Amino acid sequence: MNVMKSTEKYKERIKAELNNTLTETTLERGEKRTGKVRDQYSLGDKIALITTDRQSAFDRVLASIPFKGQVLNLTSAWWFEQTKDIIPNQVINIPDPNITLAKNCEVFPIEFVVRGYITGSTSTSLWTVYNNGDREYCGNILSEGLVKNQKLDSNMLTPTTKEEHHDRPIAPNDIVREGWMTQTDWEYCSQKALELFEYGQKKAAENGMILVDTKYEMGKDENGKIVLIDEIHTPDSSRYFYADGYKERQSRGEAQKQLSKEFVRQWLISNDFQGLEGQIVPYMSDEYIETVSDRYIELYENITGQTFIKADVSNIQERIEANVLKYLQN
């Protein structure tokens, strides 16, 4: 499938739903934990992961984007199904376009970040670190002369710890030495992360996209089996480039065309915001919010090859409550 043109056909519907976004969740059951984008409800041996429309970057919630939560949830659901033969996952059911009902797992306190290209704009991104002069990152040695957005010689694993305030890049030896994971668990998870990324690159390439980098989370289910959790290959957890024109833009030293949250980060940087103390979050106009929604939908359609069918958001809280209750009663 070739990369589709921008989804102009959705413009009017996106505009009409600017005020019908899922910003907060009010599921009347289970203990709630609120994340930047996902809210989690504990339901005994299960959890309900509700993906909202909140847009975050640089550790700040910026705005709500129509249909973003649905895109993230259904993109993950598609990838979970595609990759279940590589590693099992926590998904039990998708009872609503914004909800994943999943096994309650013991989560490893490590994010498995895999990179195929040297890029990024955050303080921990590979390009930022490299551009600041470092040539070793998370135990990986980087050669001289690399340029931004260049393909690496081989895919690179750069794990980070999951800590209360800020994630910390960490070398594999330190993961075991500091007690974050056992050697056996680390070796299994790191191998599966590389396999998942290689498969993701292959599928993305079939649809005119480049999977640039991503992060995975894993944990153990009630039987002690290691499973993939949270999300996979979404525009929030991953960077994608358009394959068409990549080499030409790279040879001219131009920025690559992004189809992921990275283009929002770049917009913020161009408006003098990187989440630093004293900086003010720039105003997102309705027109820009529509553009962001459009990009997310475009990625879903490009990757899955499926037409994005917008859910009814006229009373999204009631819809979610009803769909969860319906599933739990069956």
Question: String of b and e for 81-91 (b: at least 16 CB within 10 Å)?
Answer: ebbeeebebbb
pTM summary value: 0.92
DSSP string computed for 62-114: EEE-TTHHHHHHHHHHHHHHHHTTTS-BSEEEEEETTEEEEE--EE-SEEEEE
- State how beta strands 54-57 and 46-51 pair: unpaired
With a CB cutoff of 8 Å and minimum separation 6, the contacts of 251 are none
For the chain, helix, strand, coil in percent to 5 are 35, 25, 40
Q: What are the structural domain ranges in the chain? A: 8-329
Find, among 226, 286, 317, 298, the residue nearest to 258 by Cα: 298
Question: String of b and e for 240-252 (b: at least 16 CB within 10 Å)?
Answer: bbbbeebeebbee
- Tell me, what's the pLDDT at 8? 58
Q: Which CATH number is associated with domain 8-329?
A: 3.30.470.20
The DSSP letter of residue 171 is: -
Find, among 49, 47, 41, the residue nearest to 77 by Cα: 49
Tell me the three state secondary structure of residue 165: coil
> What are 187-194's contacts with CB under 8 Å, separation 24+?
188/226, 189/108, 189/110, 189/112, 189/218, 189/226, 190/112, 190/157, 190/159, 192/86, 192/87, 192/216, 192/218, 192/226, 192/228, 193/112, 193/114, 193/157, 193/218, 194/114, 194/155, 194/157
Walk along the chain (330 residues) and give the pLDDT tens digit of each residue: 333 444 556 667 687 678 789 999 999 888 999 999 999 999 989 999 999 999 988 888 888 999 999 999 999 999 999 999 999 999 999 999 999 999 999 999 999 999 999 998 778 889 999 999 999 999 999 999 999 999 999 999 999 999 877 789 999 999 999 999 999 999 999 999 999 999 999 999 999 999 999 999 999 999 999 999 999 999 999 999 999 999 999 999 999 998 878 888 888 988 999 888 889 889 999 999 999 999 999 999 999 999 999 999 999 999 999 999 898 887
